Amino acid sequence: MNTTFLKACRGEKTDHTPIWIMRQAGRYLPDYHKVRSQMTFLELCKNPEKAAEVTLQPVDILGVDAAILFSDILVTLEAMGMDLDFKEKQGPVLAHPIRSQAELDQLIIPDPIEKLGYVMDTISLLRTELADKVPLIGFCGAPFTLSTYMIEGGSSKNFFNTKKMMYTDPGLYHNLMAKLTASTISYLQAQAEAGAQALQVFDSWAGSLAPNDFAEFALPYVQEIIAALKPAGIPLIYFANNCAGLLDLTKTSGADVLGLDWRVDIPTAIENFGPDIAIQGNLDPISLLLPEDKLEKRIASILERGRGAKGHIFNLGHGIVPETPPEKAKFVVETVHRLSKGK
Ligand code: CP3
């Protein structure tokens, strides 16, 4: 078993810098399209054999140092009682967004085994299939990011309805966040019990908040989730996207590892976080389109800048884009391994 990823999360010395790629199982891989063409995205998420199969694709094709469960952050909202669909071109659609206390009261805090058992089945299958390969990462959406989908009813540019609720009816917004947090905690606990060996909390839209709003409305719920999962004894990763203006705050999340998007200068983050937090990141996903020599220079620079951290897990600064040639993703993995070996 290649444990470099888990060691780097804990800040232990490794013989190379481990790498995995956000959204590594997905549409840039022809192998993914083959499986996906037989069923809808949600059907794929709910089919443990097929979900496990696509989870393993990047492990076998790219040689990454960790697998991430194939699922989506939004399945929790369906489990809570929302009507979720993924439409071609449009992305996720939640037909009845939550905008009032009465609508919120309709949602449940689901029993994860009863409503999301397919996720735990996928994890169990994967642990068997990954036995001598790499560790498995489980994940969830952070309450703020989930709240944007819940309140907007889908993807959004400026999060108008979310912020409107936050600013004009903060009591309702906090109630909604408390319910999302309770659902998330039991979901992650179930993932850990099923065999997830690390957990990542995705806060994709955290950077849309002013620091004081992030501190008041988003961060306390992330802290609550991280604190509740500490007893599981596995590395906890918090990825707040677009976090350059939030470093003073994200460092108090309690997470063992903080994910960085590409807009952040790594040494600045390390100086801010201090000696107790490992980092993950932060290559610009679009830079994978560069010719190999230019791409290699960027990789070398990130490895160099990450050396002062307690631990460094190489990753992109956000999800890999569907237009990426798979050979380039493979080149990144090989280059990170080659340049970091023995250093
Ligand atoms: O990283 C992985 O390989 C594991 C799988 C994974 C998916 N979604 C699969 C997926 C993970 C970790 C996610 C997380 C996720 N989902 C996030 C947080 C990470 C981020 O990128 O910011 C968010 C915001 C979502 C919500 C979501 N899911 C959107 C907005 C969309 C549509 C747009 C898009 O990127 O496709 C999805 C669909 C989705 N989730 C796909 C995949 C492979 C594409 C579905 C398809 O096959 O058509």
Mutate to test the pocket of ligand 1, among 33, 60, 73, 144 (most ligand atoms within 8 A of CB): 73
**Interior CA angle at 303 toward 302 and 304, to 5°?**
90
* Residue 245 reports pLDDT greater than 90: yes
pLDDT of 16 reads 98
Instruction: Count the helix, strand and coil residues of the chain and give each as a percent rounded to the nearest 5.
Output: 55, 15, 35
pLDDT tens column, 161-198: 999 999 999 999 999 999 999 999 999 999 999 999 99
pLDDT at 35: 98
**Residue 190: its pLDDT value, please?**
98
**Residue-wise DSSP of 87-117:** ETTTEEEESS---SHHHHHT-----HHHHHH
Q: Is 314 in the pocket of ligand 1 (CB under 6 A)?
A: no
Name the residue of 23, 262, 324 whose CB sits within 8 Å of the most ligand 1 atoms, as the mutation to test its pocket. 23
For position 166, what pLDDT does the model report?
A: 98
Q: What phi and psi values does residue 70 have, to the nearest 5 degrees?
A: -85, 115
Buried b (16+ CB within 10 A) or exposed e, 163-175: bebbeeeeebbee
Task: Kindly tell me if the per-residue pLDDT of 199 is higher than 90.
Answer: yes
* pLDDT single digits (tens) 23-41: 999 999 999 999 999 999 9
pLDDT tens, residue by residue, 325-334: 999 999 999 9
The set of catalytic residues is 23, 27, 36, 72, 149
**Ligand 1 neighbourhood includes 91 CB (under 6 angstroms):** yes
Dist. CA 25–CA 248, nearest whole Å: 32
Pocket lining: 139 vs ligand 1, CB cutoff 6 Å? yes
pTM of the entire structure? 0.97
Instruction: Report whether pLDDT(112) > 90.
Output: yes
**Residue nearest atom 9 in ligand 1 by C-alpha distance:** 72
Query: Can you give the pLDDT at residue 89?
Result: 87
Ligand 1, atom 24, lies closest to the CA of 204
Residue 181's pLDDT is: 98
Tokens of residue 71, six digits: 């699922």
User: Mean pLDDT across the stretch 265-288?
Assistant: 98
92 lines ligand 1 (CB under 6 A): yes
For the Cβ of 36 lying below 6 angstroms from any atom of ligand 1, the answer is yes
Instruction: Supply the mean pLDDT for the chain.
Output: 98
Q: Is the pLDDT of residue 343 over 90?
A: no
Q: Residues near 222 by Cβ (< 8 Å), separated by ≥ 6?
A: 142, 143, 144, 201, 203, 238, 253
CATH architecture of 4-340: Alpha-Beta Barrel (3.20)
Q: Give CA–CA dist 172/176, Å, rounded.
A: 6
Higher-confidence residue of 213 and 343: namely 213
Residue 126 Cα to ligand 1 middle (Å): 19
Res. 43: pLDDT tops 90: yes
Q: What is the Cα–Cα distance from 229 to 255, expressed in whole angstroms? A: 10
Q: Is the pLDDT of residue 67 over 90?
A: yes
